[in-house]
Structure 1
């Protein structure tokens, strides 16, 4: 793969991966609530999902999904169900916390609202990251289109490995950096002070994205 081709891939992927979405929210929220270690495991889960989509795109399964619309719809419905469920769980936790408000301080109430959704183990954090990413099958279409011109069918294995390493490496570096920043004392304290508003927005975003996926499936 030439330097120009690699730079084209790198610039396009940096713009794509840095765009806020469900992966971004999952990493930021877990890091702020549960700390850096669990945030890094969410980042690892997200990166694993991305690696899976890249492998599927490189092996030509993006074409299979395009040809078999029913299979694509099944994956979209499953992804939509997860995103809607995750979003509603956050919103329900906020409502339950509000109903149980007994005059405690805003910080205590914010912590109570977030506590039911804080990840209890690093492996649960990893699963949240993985499932959040694979819940959106549009990623396969995206990678299929992106890689079609970068590594067309029949490209050498070395070129495919270079593409894989670039995409996965940039993804983990980005999401690990988010986990590091969000778990910092200043950001985490700011999150706790505005936890209700932030979680309300996050829950709404996950739900809307899930509904949008289901409606288009």
Structure 2
């Protein structure tokens, strides 16, 4: 994997993690309703689930590359189409991702972590997203090191972002700003996803 390709992957993973949604809501719920430690537990258990989805997806794509180049190209084009579609949806979503936080009952760190993991592990949309995303970066000459780098990038970006949320963004004024900027986050995410999809056409 080239450095330029890794930066592209890193940017998409960052924007994907930052997009308002149920994962962010769970981390904030645990942080605000219980403690920062609960928020951190939810963050890194969630990241572990993301890492499992990412590695499973990359491994499957690598096998497909080795067995059928035509099938892999088809998935690459379908993946580009999906990225463009969700990019358009993100741009049109506006403030649809605005978050509301409910106070939760006091729970153990393990329970908070499990809740974070389940949000990622039981979300089949992650599998579809990773197939669409990684099909743009997996190549026939990709090594196991490349696969591990992509997996680690997805998991670490997810864990670090939600840790930042738990540590810094749980305070009322900052949380309010995050809510107010959700439309901008959606537009930026959508634009970059569409640009990544267009990359396939120009190759």
Is the aligned partner of 1:124 residue 2:128?
no
The alignment partner of 2:45 has SS state of helix
Is the aligned partner of 1:12 residue 2:7?
no
- Number of aligned residue pairs: 141
What CA distance in whole angstroms lies between the structure 1 residues aligned with 2:24 and 2:173? 15
Q: How has the CA–CA distance of structure 1 residues 187 and 31 changed in structure 2, closer, same or farther, with 3 Å as cutoff?
A: farther
Corresponding residue of 1:145: 132
Cα shift readout 1:39-71 (whole Å, capped 9, x = no counterpart): 10000121011011101101218x99xxxxxxx
Corresponding residue of 1:80: none
Task: Specify every segment of 5 or more residues in structure 1 that has no aligned partner in the other structure, as ranges.
Answer: 65-112, 192-217
What CA distance in whole angstroms lies between the structure 2 residues aligned with 1:122 and 1:14? 26
Is the CA contact (8 Å cut-off) linking 1:27 and 1:42 kept in structure 2? yes
Spell out structure 1 runs of 4+ moving beyond 6 A. Answer: none
What CA distance in whole angstroms lies between the structure 2 residues aligned with 1:187 and 1:34? 19
What CA distance in whole angstroms lies between the structure 1 residues aligned with 2:43 and 2:12? 20
* Structure 1 residues 105-184: aligned runs within 5 Å: 114=103, 117-152=104-139, 155-184=142-171
What CA distance in whole angstroms lies between the structure 2 residues aligned with 1:135 and 1:153? 30
After TM superposition, the score normalised by the length of structure 1 is 0.58
Q: How far apart are 1:154 and its partner, in Å?
A: 5.5
Q: How far apart are 1:135 and its partner, in Å?
A: 2.4
Is the aligned partner of 1:29 residue 2:29?
yes
Corresponding residue of 2:48: 48
Q: How far apart are 1:187 and its partner, in Å?
A: 6.1
Larger radius of gyration: 1
After TM superposition, the score normalised by the length of structure 2 is 0.62
Is the CA contact (8 Å cut-off) linking 1:45 and 1:129 kept in structure 2? yes
What CA distance in whole angstroms lies between the structure 1 residues aligned with 2:128 and 2:151? 16
Q: How has the CA–CA distance of structure 1 residues 153 and 139 changed in structure 2, closer, same or farther, with 3 Å as cutoff?
A: farther
What CA distance in whole angstroms lies between the structure 2 residues aligned with 1:154 and 1:140? 23
- Structure having the higher helix fraction is 1
Moved more, 46-55 or 153-162: 153-162
Q: How far apart are 1:131 and its partner, in Å?
A: 0.7
